[in-house]
Amino acid sequence: METHTALKRPEVLAPAGTLEKLKTAIHYGADAVYIGGNAYGLRSRAGNFSLEEMAEGVAYAKAHNAKVYVAANMVTHEGNQEGAGEFFRQIRDVGISAVIVSDPALIEICITEAPGLPVHLSTQASATNYETLEFWKEEGLERVVLAREVSMEEVAEIRKHTDIQIEAFVHGAMCISYSGRCVLSNHMSMRDANRGGCSQSCRWKYDLFDMPFGTEAHESLTAKGQVTEPFSMSAVDMSMIEHIPDLIQNGVDSLKIEGRMKSIHYVSTVSNVYKAAVDSYMADPEHYQVKEEWIDELWKVAQRELSTGFYYHTPTDQEQLFGPRRKIPQYTFIGEVMAYDDATKIATVRQRNHFSVGDEIEFYGPGFQHFTQSVTEMKNDEGESIDRAPNPMMILTMPVVQPVSVGDMIRKKKEA
């Protein structure tokens, strides 16, 4: 144990596209969350926060010893930076812990016009070496979010040469290009990926054509039927749950989960898993073991196959969304617990997806509390017995076989 006394517990940093997701992430173990404001961000379709919502989110976070960061990582064109100084001052005064920026103009504006608001360099800036991190440290930044293309060997080398805080992605979607360097969406759909409008053109399915030099376009031959499936340029998702010790031992200060557009089912599950893994390692590094239940849990919310990205090798065709898929157990998020009566063992539930009497369902909560049961009976909010819950957000009651808590989630396995 002596060799591990200097290990620092990393922050588990979760995405929060809405105020509900912010509270969910923190309730399920996140030490910090990152959100978008109503300007200068890269998720124009996420539920970006007003100043009032930020204030409520910050108050909730502080009450639970957590932090809130704001992503303002767009690339600015002429005129886009107008009003940025006031925006940064407002979020500073609300109590935001740091702003995540990639554009040097916005960084300069924040440092000079909103002193006291820490600045973190976004992954959009593609920082891949310690000289770059040292440069930004000298500019006054406190933390750098590494490019997702950095290897674990490079992480170790970077940490040896700089003491600036390092944040690294550990879970979620990967960009097929260097983050912040892709213009596919601009070309395909005239939506600027670097200014909040990415249409994820890399995930579209493409045909292949045989177009010999000099041949008119209408004479080209499609390869449809000659390949197993349409081609995409999309990467599988990242998951580093099996490599927490490497990240901690190499000095990563913040473990970042991607997914501001994802559901509360995803946010709660992934935050819960990484919190459990980090806690387990820090409690006893010498005897730490990856638990199969953590991996199984992540697959319950997986949308694509999983890999370790660039951390241990350059991705191959096995890390692309092409060819035969591994079978992934799919679960549907069906509800959340609103109240529980210990005397009657009745839970009040808000429905999020259809389920019926007779279904096998799973309850889960913070700290890896899990159990399964069959739905034996349900009543609507008027006390009438019902055999199914078809209406979104309807309130119902049901008996449960174990105690549950407000905020616990419910899911069921999808039909084959």
Which tens digit of pLDDT belongs to each residue from 22-73? 999 999 999 999 999 877 765 555 558 999 999 999 999 999 999 999 999 8
CB 228 within 8 A of CB 216: no
Q: Output the pLDDT for position 42.
A: 57
Q: Which letter, b or e, does each residue of 157-195 get, where b requires 16 or more Cβ atoms within 10 Å of its Cβ?
A: ebbeebebbbbbbbbbbbbbbebbebebbbeeeebbbbb
Q: What integer is the mean pLDDT of 203-223?
A: 64
The reported pLDDT for the residue numbered 2 is 35
82 pLDDT higher than 50: yes
Rounded CA separation 377/202 (Å): 46
Q: How confident is the model at residue 89 (pLDDT cuts 50, 70, 90)?
A: very high
Query: Of the candidates 4, 26, 5, which has an alpha carbon nearest to the alpha carbon of residue 14?
Result: 26
pLDDT digits (tens, 9 = 90+) for 304-323: 889 999 999 999 888 888 76
Q: pLDDT by residue (tens digit) across 239-281?
A: 999 999 999 999 999 999 999 889 999 999 999 999 999 999 9
Q: Where in the chain is the domain with CATH 2.40.30.10?
A: 331-413
Looking at the domain covering 7-174+235-319, what would its CATH class be? alpha beta
C-alpha of 407 from chain center: 19
pTM for the structure as a whole? 0.91
Domain 331-413: which CATH class? mainly beta
Helical (H) or strand (E) element with 209: strand 209-210
As annotated, the residues of the chain forming the CATH 3.20.20.380 domain(s) are 7-174+235-319
Per-residue pLDDT at 329 exceeds 80: no
User: Any idea which of 159-163, 314-318, 325-329, 333-337 has the lowest mean pLDDT?
Assistant: 325-329
